[in-house]
Amino acid sequence: MSAGSTVSTTYLELSQEDGAAHKFYEVSVDGQLVTVRYGRIGAAGQTQTTTFASAAKARAAAAKKVGEKVRKGYEPAVPGQRAPRAVTRRQVASAPSTARAVAPVLWRFGTGSSAFGIHVDDDRCWVGNQAGDVFTLDHEGSVLARFSLPDGVKCLVADDFWIYAGCDDGRVYDLSSKLPFAAYDIAADVDIFWLDIHEGVLDVSDREGRLTVIDHEDEHQWSRRSQGDHAWMVRADDRAVYHGHHRGVTAYAPDGSGELWHTPTRGGVLFGWQEDDTVYAGTAHRVVQRLSKATGAVEATYACDGSVYSCATAPGGRFVFAGDSASSVYCFDRDGTRLWKLGTGGGSALSMQYRDERLYLVTTDGSLVCVDASEAAISAAQQGSVPVVRDVKLAAALPTYTPATTATAVATVAQAPAGAVVVECAQHNGRLRVHVVSGGYDESWNVQFPRAIRVPGARYVVDALHPAAGGFYRVRGEIRRLL
């Protein structure tokens, strides 16, 4: 508190019966400081503090902010009296498979809770579940580490080197370094269904059928209300953002300037996958449809026997895979001919990824399943010959990482190690920004940096910085505060 000053606080809430909004907005004035806190009711929310030239200007700015919110329907309230609204959990049914043979499962790891999130790269397999756990394994199934996030993991996505987990608490966590942190905090009225990240720009699809786009500074860029609701698909590239909902797939220009095309699909879209020139939509009406990214034209249809919960392809779409609501997994050739249908040996595949003749599934029973998708293994499985499944167990002393939520959670160093990069946090136009101090970088560019650990005037050491197409730097590796 400023010397000789009295803190004045106004707390407002907006809660609509139809579920469209359930959020709070709090403004506190302490002398020349105005602190705004906002977010979902019942959550800590985000906090921003701005310094003004005088106490009078601070009070005027605070009054303006309160007035704007009141005009939007916010009302005075008492913190804690209104209960948090439950987040949406995807309700899915999973019946036993009708396939005559079981897929050639090499290994299976039970996470303990229904799993939606999956990512497989050169070194690791990642799986995230509804309990908020994210595990990493090697390609042979050995468990390497565990991230304990504060709420259920909706999905896992990769953007070049970086791995992100979208969670039910409305935050998106960067899991790329030792200490995970909240890289994005989604607006309080956005109920996340799925997300994608491209060049540091976050695209979020939600229950209401909206598409929300947020930049590297965690600031809203644009949003669109689609023709349908329950938007379970979003994929992005340099050309467009592809948004799948219960009325089909819509492509928007990356800058939000307009709709490029809309294609109705056979049933509501439940999952999406993309290749360089095509996007694949798995639907509730038992098909996967391949759409041209250029025009939205349907190029091929892949027919399943149940609602399609997930899909993936071999590189270039040479093979197309699908997981249905009856615990079966399918393989098609590029043109839509079904090559095989096999049981997963467990639950239905909620997400999947193909890599190096292996198909990785995460399922309703919480398993990460590795299937041998080579031609020889599939042929043998169709004849009833499958390997003995190896059930993977947790290591006794598994490294576990939790997110950094405060500045004090960050490790400190007395001096920057050789080859490391120094960055600095400073106020800029009322906002905390991070820029590069070390030579050899563009000083006009900001650095994407976790808000929870920003301290004005503090310097930090990072392992490396990488330029992004949007004209900013992204951190790779560990973040430490420089004493």
Q: What CATH number is attached to the domain comprising 206?
A: 2.130.10.10
Mean pLDDT (the chain, rounded) = 90
* Shared domain check, 271 and 179: yes
Is 408 found in the same domain as 387? no
The Cβ of residue 99 has, within 10 Å, a number of other Cβ atoms equal to 21
Confidence class for position 4, pLDDT limits 50, 70, 90: low
- Structural domain contains residue 375: yes
The mean pLDDT value for 106-128 works out to 94
Strand-by-strand arrangement of the 75-76 sheet: 46-51, 33-40, 22-30, 8-15, 75-76
93 part of a folded domain: no
Looking at the structure, do residues 256 and 133 belong to the same domain, yes or no? yes
> Which residues on neighbouring strands pair with residue 33, listed in sequence order?
30, 51
Indicate whether 194 belongs to any domain: yes
The pLDDT value recorded for residue 470 is 83
Q: Is the pLDDT of residue 128 over 60?
A: yes
CA-based nearest residue to 451, from 214, 235, 255? 214
The answer on 223 and 327 residing in a single domain is yes
Are residues 443 and 379 located together in one domain of the fold?
A: no
pLDDT at 19 over 70: no
Looking at 18-27, 172-181, 209-218, which range is the least confident one? 18-27
Does any domain span residue 235?
yes
Residue 250 CA, distance from chain mean position:
20
Verify that 320 and 431 share a domain, yes or no.
no
Residue 70 sits in which domain range? 8-76
In this structure, the answer to whether residues 136 and 275 fall within a common structural domain is yes
Residues 323 and 363 both lie in one domain: yes
Contact indicator for 43, 56 with CB cutoff of 8 Å: no
User: What's the structural domain count of the chain?
Assistant: 3
Mean pLDDT of the region 269-282: 97
pTM comes to: 0.82
Q: Reply yes or no on whether the pLDDT at 44 is more than 80.
A: no
Together in a domain, 256 and 289:
yes
Same domain for 112 and 42:
no
Percent of the chain exceeding pLDDT 90 equals: 62
